[in-house]
Amino acid sequence: MLVFVIFALAGAVAQLVDGSLGMGYGVTATTVLLAAGTAPATASASVHFAKVGTGLASGAAHWKFGNVDWPVVTWIALPGAVGAVVGAVVLSSLPVATASPWVAALLVLLGAYVLVRFSFRAVAATVVGSVRPGKSLLAPLGLTAGFIDSIGGGGWGPVATSSLLASGRLEPRKVVGSVSTAEFVVAVAASVGFLFALAGHGISWVTVAGLLVGGVVAAPFAAWLVRAMPARLLGTAAGGLIVLTNVHTLLEAVGVTGTGMIVVHLLLAAIWVAALVAAVRSVRADRAEVEALTDADDAVSNSPTAGDGDPVGR
């Protein structure tokens, strides 16, 4: 029972991160399993089994709150399923240490781009009036994200969400909602792949149940959070999360350890906090500007001379 409760809490935290930012469930939950001594392939399999339920609950919640763009879901989910199956089979037989640094480097760059874009630039100009991302972008993105997700025990959100945010063709809440909804299809495909590759050996179904229950309970709140959070804050939070999640692997690959790694993490954390502060100030300034324009319009509408030139009003 204690094991179930522990992993239920882990699943709830992971889903709050994933459902509100479009990434982080696999990374968070897999980290907990690996820390408990679970083998990488078994950890990834357990997380994906749990993500079948959490993905369904999260997708339903995002649909209810209007966060889902269904054409985007279709063109990213189906190739993602193919990539997930291939990744599950590969993980069962090959090490991933060589590929990890390259993936981490790509994600750090994407995360930094998203962080700067949403914290210091006008969000409306980057997403309003843009053309929806097409299948030429979504299909290869889904294939790559699905493969990385299975191989690393997480990565669907960081790859898919960061890439779509960086494209600037879809508002952040629709990116998060669509990626989270498509994750259900990817999780089903990965689970089938792991079932064949591992034949069910070594998987703790109590752990899976804990992750599942915790994630399902947290899914509706996470979907509400992404709808309520301003685009600037959402994009800035997502960008910082991508960078901090992947920089550790990148630093290890280039030989930075100990004090050097701590210094880099503290520096990046400080930059992230500064970006969040800048985003909050921008949100407040935007709201103040909107309120000022609204007050001005109300003043004009309520003016005694407002209808003097209107023949109908005479």
- The answer to whether residue 145 scores a pLDDT higher than 90 is yes
Give the model confidence (pLDDT) of 46-68 as tens digits.
889 988 888 888 888 889 888 99
- Dist. CA 20–CA 158, nearest whole Å: 13
Is 76 in contact with 182 (CB distance < 8 Å)? Answer: yes
Give the model confidence (pLDDT) of 170-180 as tens digits.
888 888 889 98
pLDDT band at 303 (very low <50, low <70, confident <90, very high): low
Give the model confidence (pLDDT) of 206-250 as tens digits.
888 888 888 888 888 877 776 777 767 877 887 888 788 778 878
pTM of the predicted model as reported, rounded to 2 decimal places: 0.70
Higher pLDDT, 279 or 18: 279
Is 62 in contact with 223 (CB distance < 8 Å)? Answer: yes
Is 183 in contact with 47 (CB distance < 8 Å)? Answer: no
Is 26 in contact with 152 (CB distance < 8 Å)? Answer: yes
- The answer to whether residue 190 scores a pLDDT higher than 50 is yes
